[in-house]
Amino acid sequence: MKRILSYNVNGIRSAVSKGLLEWLPEVNPDVICIQETKAQPGQMHEADFKALGYHCYAHSAEKKGYSGVAVFCKDTPDHVEYGMNHSKYDVEGRVIRADFGDFSVISVYFPSGTTGELRQAVKMDFLTDFHSYLDELRKTRKNLVISGDYNICRLWIDIHNPAQQQNTSGFLPEEREWFARFVEDGYVDSFRKINTEPHQYSWWSYRAGARANNKGWRIDYNMVTSNLEDKIFDAGILPAVVHSDHCPVWVDIDF
């Protein structure tokens, strides 16, 4: 059994200052997929994570203090792939993959489109290009766990007040259509396999009372290739854990 945890920390140094390292042993993940490190290698408290038993691998954005993904893992990977061989996104540090035997774990940070049309266009391009990257990868790596901040609410129950959010980036019809095609192509939403209840969120605005009133969005996922569906043992969201405007999401898989 492996526990894989995904967490957009909104700055790893900030999250550590809020108790991330002290909290981690409580959930004891085997693999931690981090998004929005907002740090360069050597700035991510690597020695502290190593003291907890984790090997540290990071793919940072060229722009300092921006984006960035990482994989911290107890087992040494057979191979680590930095980026998706696409310079448009790799300069922003959006994808890192670690291979362990016959399965791979990907930490991914999808672009946000909330700042305007230009970034929304980049986001839509990323959806197409990342899907193509995975299609090619599956020819040689068939067992994938794709963990990260997808910046999309997949289902009507994954966002508060959905009827009024349909013109908002992250819940646009074309984004949800992409997600539906993605699932049809053989990817399983591990959390929704276990939990079909509404009001299960992983991100809340910093606006007054959003988190306290659970007016959130579920945009963080541990998606797995459909051939692993029967190996999903459990999955969950940890909304009470507060080191970020996101909270951790996890899946237990019996490989």
pLDDT single digits (tens) 163-176: 999 999 999 999 99
pLDDT at 116: 86
pLDDT of residue 188: 98
Would you state the structure tokens that stand for residue 192, as one six-digit string?
């929704």
Kindly give, in sequence order, each residue whose CB lies less than 8 Å from that of residue 191, ignoring residues fewer than 6 positions away.
200, 218, 221, 222, 235, 236, 237, 249, 251
Q: What is the mean pLDDT of the chain?
A: 97
Angle in degrees, 0-180, between the axes of helices 117-137 and 173-184, rounded to the nearest 10: 0
The arithmetic mean of pLDDT across residues 89-111, rounded, is 98
Whether 115 shows a pLDDT value over 90: the answer reads no
Choosing from 30, 149, 158, 220, which is the catalytic residue? 149
Range of the domain at 136: 2-253
Q: Tell me what the mean pLDDT of segment 2-22 comes to.
A: 98
Q: Please answer whether residues 41 and 69 qualify as being in contact, where contact means their C-beta atoms are separated by less than 8 angstroms.
A: no
Give the per-residue SS3 of the chain. Answer: CEEEEEEECCCHHHHHHCCHHHHHHHHCCCEEEEECCCCCCCCCCHHHHHHCCCEEEEECCCCCCCCCEEEEECCCCCEEEECCCCHHHHCCCCEEEEEECCEEEEEEECCCCCCCHHHHHHHHHHHHHHHHHHHHHCCCCCEEEEEEECCCCCCHHHECCHHHCCCCCCCCHHHHHHHHHHHHCCEEEHHHHHCCCCCCCCEECCCCCCCCCCCEECCEEEEEEHHHHHHEEEEEECCCCCCCCECCEEEEECC
Give yes or no for a contact between 150 and 93, defined as CB atoms under 8 angstroms apart.
Answer: no
Residue 202 has a CB neighbour count (10 Å cut-off) of 26
Return the pLDDT at 196.
97
Using an 8 Å Cβ cutoff, are 1 and 28 in contact? Answer: no
Count of domains for the chain:
1
Q: Which CATH number covers residue 80?
A: 3.60.10.10
| pLDDT tens, residue by residue, 178-196 | 999 999 999 999 999 999 9
pTM, to two decimals: 0.98
Residue 147 pLDDT exceeds 90: yes
Which residues does 229 contact at the CB level (< 8 Å), separation at least 6? 188, 193
> Is residue 78 flagged as an active site residue?
no
Residue matched to tokens 């310079």 = 87
